[in-house]
Amino acid sequence: MTTQMVGKPIQRVEDKDLLTGKGSFTDDIKLPGTLHVAFVRAPFAHARITGIDLDAARELPGVHLVMAAADLPAPAKGKRILLQVPNPAIVDPITQEPLVSERVAFAGEAVAVVVADSRAIAEDAAEMVMVDYDPLPTVANLAQATAPGADKVHPHLADNVAARIHVGYGDIESAFRDAAHTVSVTLDQHRGTGNPMEGRAVLSAPNALDGGITVWSATQAPHILRRALVDMLEMAETDIRVIAPDVGGGFGPKVQAYPEEFVIPICAQMLGVPVKWIEDRREHLLCTVQERDQTWSVEMALDAEGKLLGVRGRMRHDQGAYLPWGVIAPYISTVTMPGPYVLPAYDLETQVMFTNKVPTAPLRGAGRPQAVFAMERLFDLAADRMGLDRADLRRRNLIPAEAMPYSVGLIFRDGQPLIYDSGDYPRCQQIAEEKSGWADFPARREAALREGRYIGLGIANYVEGTGLGPFEGATTQVLPSGRILIKTGAAGQGQGNRTVYAQVAAEAFNVDISQVDVELGDTGKIPIGVGAFASRLMVNAGSAINVSAGTVVTKMKKIAAAAFEVSEDDLELVDGTVRVTGDQGPSLTFGEMAQMASGMPGYVLPGGQEPGLFATHYFSPPQAAYANGSHAVEVEVDPETGIVRIARYIVVHDCGRMVNPLLVEGQIQGGLAHGIGNAFLEKMRYDDDANPVTTTLADYLLPDADNVPTAEIYHVESPAPHNPLGVKGAGEGGTIPAAAAVVSAVEDALRPFGVQIDEAPILPERICELIDAARQNTQEAS
Amino acid sequence: MTTKSISLTVNGKTVEQEVEPRTHLADFLRHGIGLTGTHLGCEHGVCGACTVLVDGQAVRSCLMLAVQADGAEVVTVEGLAPETGGDDGLSPIQAAFREFHGLQCGYCTPGFLTSLTQLLMENPDIGEEDLRKELSGNLCRCTGYAGIVRAALAAAQAYKEAAASGMGGSR
Ligand code: FES
Ligand code: FES
């Protein structure tokens, strides 16, 4: 009998420490003699540095180091951060310098660093650093970036194009030539932020014994940071140890290596003491990557029955000033567009544009929410034009479950053909329709309208490539104490990875999760690793644990079979022992087995096995695992104030086999909150000179308990065929279709005004403007 | 910089220290006396992560100077569990957060726990709608609030019983 661990809503092993104030976030780590840092940041979005005077700052008591780019030691001096995701589509793979040497390209770039006894003194000194700037013309948005004769973000380039991406398949010309109906739309989607409640944070300590260095960082990817550090500092991999301690949320922006993650270790090495920098909220809103700014001009062709014939168009992606994570996000956008629909022909021409703003890089959803928004807006528009029900038109085009695996005709971001591996898309939409009362809703809407209330129902579907490679590794070990130890590089930032990893291991050994220890997020514990992004850890690390634990179990059975002189098939693992099935013979505890396997001086190892009860496995998935889902949302809109209230939110979600439904639902609900922010709250605003305007949480609105409802969640489990656990990623599905679904609902509620919404977020003032404009149109027409 | 001597009670223990007048209470708690359970999310009074109880009231410790807490009784997340509480060493709201998955990264959590402790002790009968309005002063980027709301409503009963039995101090 085995204890079922995978699939149960087990409470988290992480929680007790976090609930009692015993978490260990980067700023909680106290090393004796630690010095503190403040950065001098550019107040212009584009400017040449003509002079820096550090002298006054250097003289302030308590200041240990003041440094500008020219003072950086070799080999970092003059270098830029390694681009780890190159792509031939990129015109010039330009990344940030640790400190800007000549020209700042967005407001908030660091031009100098101060190290002092306290953060307060460091900030005092930073204010005394005198920098002379020669302001340059700025490019504040896509319209300015693409205008003829536009000013240039990077003067050495021919124009502001950072990359060109063209994807498509099928005969797009005849699709539009033969169409019975076509609709077209131009959609603006705006920048939002990650805003984990813990900002970025870096602590670095030199190791006096071996000349190496340890870096603690609130990062999603310790191994990726180490690789970047090896490149920048030209040190041996073994001399740099990167540790991600408890990390207070990530959501994408903590994946790539940032300038501060190089400057802090450099300062620590120069001074020979630990140095710490904790990002404040203003710095986060200025300097940490953002995402979503895209403009889509797209059209859809359908036949007389409402079957899709083709989709084509252009997309412009506001990249910001640099390419810290290449063009991953816009590329994902382009290949997400077909979604769960049978789309015979597709053509999208994309330009990734530089602007003088903080760079964009994947943020929860990673380019997918924009593509889903575009596709779903086209469906709503087409249904309205054709006089069809919005869900009905979608239903006519969903890929049937029998068609799985389904080849879309594109290459996904993992370099593999985009083949949906499994899923039942019609069923997911059907559940969403049933649970939301879709069929009866028009009558309810009419009834509400008679009471003067504007309610609307929206729907959106998506498919999401999750669990991307290249790999993640895990070591499973049975310790002499009898406990199970799991080591993996892949750490979470609150997702509960320790718990689910322990569940996978516990099931393999048939023990309770309390018998499993998990060490993660430390390059000192496992030589190679990748990181937490692309909803990939359960697929990659989970599978690596599953396989390595299975290897150890097999080995234990071999050793025990030899010791007991029975067949391996007659053995079982029960209560931390290996014994003859049914307790009919001898048994050995895991601890005894671990001791046996480590050998006794002078004796032969039992069973002809290699020593030790441990195994390491690196799991590399052959392709992405495709999760999917359908969202339906009911809203009420106040046409006088433009305020949107969500009455009900229904999520139908298929992430394959669920390891822990409690945690999956937590991911869905949390992702949904982010999507709701993107739908009608969160907008990172810049003025015409590309200066950020929303630099506090009072100006940049995050969703709160009063505007995020508890979603009604329904699970469909289509096991992923390409990994041993059958799992797919669950971290982003809550976010991806949310803006599309909410905007669809808001538009539905405003039907009496005839309003069409072509943007996200849709803020209250814009709703009022659109209603006013629509009213004016009707007046003029009458 | 000149310093000022303050004396206050933190989680039941008397603390006396010299502080700079500009040090806010959160930095004093975190770095002055090593209680790193209190977190800073914005340092401008919006996110609520830094909430502690000062003389029983939920206060944003990033907006209060340490010198203003001179003579006060401060309770942080480290002091929420009753000394003689459940075997798990968790107060009712802490235990409910674990049961209902009211936390993910745990960074916002101390602020929610302290805010809810005051709220539920004063108003254990609160309904979901009012609870959500009260909670809108605390931001969480991970959970989407569902687990937090469930946990608070479930824990309310325990605070009600404590209030009924006159054990006002059942943090
Ligand atoms: S840190 Fe005090 S309210 Fe955000
Ligand atoms: S649990 Fe991460 S911010 Fe709330």
Q: What is the ipTM of this complex?
A: 0.95
**B66 plus B118 within the same structural domain:** no
For the record, the structure tokens of B145 come out as 């609030």
pLDDT at residue A397 is higher than 50: yes
Residue B140: which CATH number?
1.10.150.120
For A400-410, the pLDDT digits (tens) are 999 999 999 88
Over residues A768-781, mean pLDDT: 89
DSSP A261-289: HHHHHHHHHHHTS-EEEE--HHHHHHHS-
Amino acid letter, B13: K
Q: Considering only A237-246, A437-446, A488-497, A735-744, which range has the smallest mean pLDDT?
A: A488-497
For A706-719, the pLDDT digits (tens) are 999 999 999 999 99
How many domains is chain B built from? Answer: 2
Q: Cβ contact (<8 Å) for B103 and A15? A: yes
Can you give the pTM of this predicted structure? Answer: 0.95
What confidence score (pLDDT) does residue B84 get? 40
Nearest chain B Cα distance for residue A671, angstroms: 7
The CATH class, in words, for A469-619 is: alpha beta
For A165-209, the pLDDT digits (tens) are 999 999 999 999 999 999 999 999 999 999 999 999 999 999 988
The alpha carbon torsion through A444, A446, A449, A455 (nearest 10 deg) reads 50
How many Å separate Cα B71 from the centre of its chain? Answer: 19
pLDDT > 70 fraction of chain B, expressed in percent and rounded = 92
Over residues A344-372, mean pLDDT: 97
SS3 A149: coil
What confidence score (pLDDT) does residue B159 get? 87
Q: Cβ contact (<8 Å) for A281 and B44? A: yes
- Collect all residues of chain B within an 8 Å Cβ-Cβ radius of residue A704: 135-139, 145
Contact A675, A669 (CB under 8 A): no
Select from B76, B104, B124 the last residue of a domain. Answer: B76
pLDDT band at A2 (very low <50, low <70, confident <90, very high): low
Q: For chain A, what percentages of helix, strand and coil (3-state, to nearest 5) are there?
A: 30, 25, 45
CB-based pocket (< 6 A), ligand 1: B 40-43, 45-50, 60, 62
**B51 plus B87 within the same structural domain:** no
pLDDT at residue B168 is higher than 50: no
Note down the domain range covering B72: 4-76
Nearest chain B Cα distance for residue A282, angstroms: 8
Q: Cβ contact (<8 Å) for A197 and B20? A: no
What confidence score (pLDDT) does residue A447 get? 97
Over residues A635-643, mean pLDDT: 97
**B101 plus B85 within the same structural domain:** yes
For B125-152, the pLDDT digits (tens) are 999 999 999 999 999 999 999 999 999 9
Over residues B43-65, mean pLDDT: 97
What confidence score (pLDDT) does residue B166 get? 60
- The burial class, CB within 10 Å (0-12 / 13-18 / 19+), for A432 is buried
Nearest chain A Cα distance for residue B144, angstroms: 4
**B19 plus B68 within the same structural domain:** yes
Q: Is residue B140 part of a domain?
A: yes
For A75-87, the pLDDT digits (tens) are 999 999 999 999 9
**B89 plus B63 within the same structural domain:** no
Which H/E stretch holds residue B19? strand B13-19
The CATH class, in words, for A31-136+200-247+254-287 is: alpha beta
pLDDT at residue A334 is higher than 80: yes
Q: Is residue B131 part of a domain?
A: yes
| Radius of gyration of chain B measured on its C-alpha atoms | 16
What confidence score (pLDDT) does residue A782 get? 66
Mean pLDDT of chain B: 92
User: Angle CA(A137)–CA(A142)–CA(A148) in degrees, nearest 5?
Assistant: 65
**pLDDT: which is higher, A49 or A531:** A49
Q: Is residue B60 part of a domain?
A: yes
Q: Nearest Cα to B79, choosing from A192, A19, A169?
A: A19
Question: Around Cβ A682, how many Cβ atoms within 10 Å?
Answer: 25
**Residue holding tokens 């403009």?**
A295
Crossing angle of helices A222-233 and A260-271, in 10° steps, is 60
CA of A391 to the centre of ligand 2 (A): 35
For B58-100, the pLDDT digits (tens) are 999 999 999 999 999 999 999 998 654 566 789 999 999 999 9
Q: Is residue B29 part of a domain?
A: yes
Mean pLDDT of chain A: 94
The structural domains of chain A, with segments of one domain joined by +, span 31-136+200-247+254-287, 366-463+625-781, 469-619
Q: Is residue B94 part of a domain?
A: yes
Contact A320, A362 (CB under 8 A): no
Same CATH topology for A31-136+200-247+254-287 and A366-463+625-781: the answer is no
CA of B140 to the centre of ligand 2 (A): 5
What confidence score (pLDDT) does residue B169 get? 47
For the record, the structure tokens of A123 come out as 């900030």
**B55 plus B41 within the same structural domain:** yes
- Collect all residues of chain A within an 8 Å Cβ-Cβ radius of residue B137: 704
**B71 plus B34 within the same structural domain:** yes
Select from B76, B109, B135 the last residue of a domain. Answer: B76
Ligand nearest to the CA of residue A194, numbered in listed order: 2
pLDDT band at B171 (very low <50, low <70, confident <90, very high): very low
Q: Is residue B39 part of a domain?
A: yes
**B86 plus B149 within the same structural domain:** yes
What confidence score (pLDDT) does residue B170 get? 43
**pLDDT: which is higher, A155 or B88:** A155
Over residues A591-603, mean pLDDT: 82
CA of B104 to the centre of ligand 2 (A): 5
What confidence score (pLDDT) does residue B160 get? 84
Into which CATH architecture does domain A366-463+625-781 fall? Answer: 2-Layer Sandwich (3.30)
Question: Around Cβ A782, how many Cβ atoms within 10 Å?
Answer: 5
- Taking the C-alpha atoms of residue A267 and residue A82, their distance in angstroms, rounded to an integer, is 19
**B114 plus B63 within the same structural domain:** no
Select from B76, B106, B125 the last residue of a domain. Answer: B76
pLDDT > 90 fraction of chain A, expressed in percent and rounded = 88
What confidence score (pLDDT) does residue A74 get? 94
Number of separate helices (H) and strands (E) present in chain B: 5, 5
pLDDT at residue B24 is higher than 50: yes
Over residues A450-476, mean pLDDT: 94
What confidence score (pLDDT) does residue A535 get? 78
**B90 plus B157 within the same structural domain:** yes
**B155 plus B99 within the same structural domain:** yes
CA of B144 to the centre of ligand 2 (A): 9
Q: Is residue B169 part of a domain?
A: no
pLDDT at residue B31 is higher than 80: yes
Q: Is residue B152 part of a domain?
A: yes
Cis (ω within 30 of 0) for the bond into A761? Answer: yes
Interface of B with A in 2-61 (CB under 8 A): 20, 22-23, 30, 34-44, 46-47, 49
For A88-122, the pLDDT digits (tens) are 999 999 999 999 999 999 999 999 999 999 999 99
- What lies within 8 Å, CB to CB, of A483 at 6+ separation is A515, A516, A517, A590
Residue B70: which CATH number?
3.10.20.30
- Chain A interface includes B99 (CB < 8 A): yes
- Taking the C-alpha atoms of residue A486 and residue A508, their distance in angstroms, rounded to an integer, is 12
**B65 plus B97 within the same structural domain:** no
Identity of the residue in A17, A669, A698 whose CB atom sits nearest the CB atom of B44: A698
What confidence score (pLDDT) does residue A490 get? 81
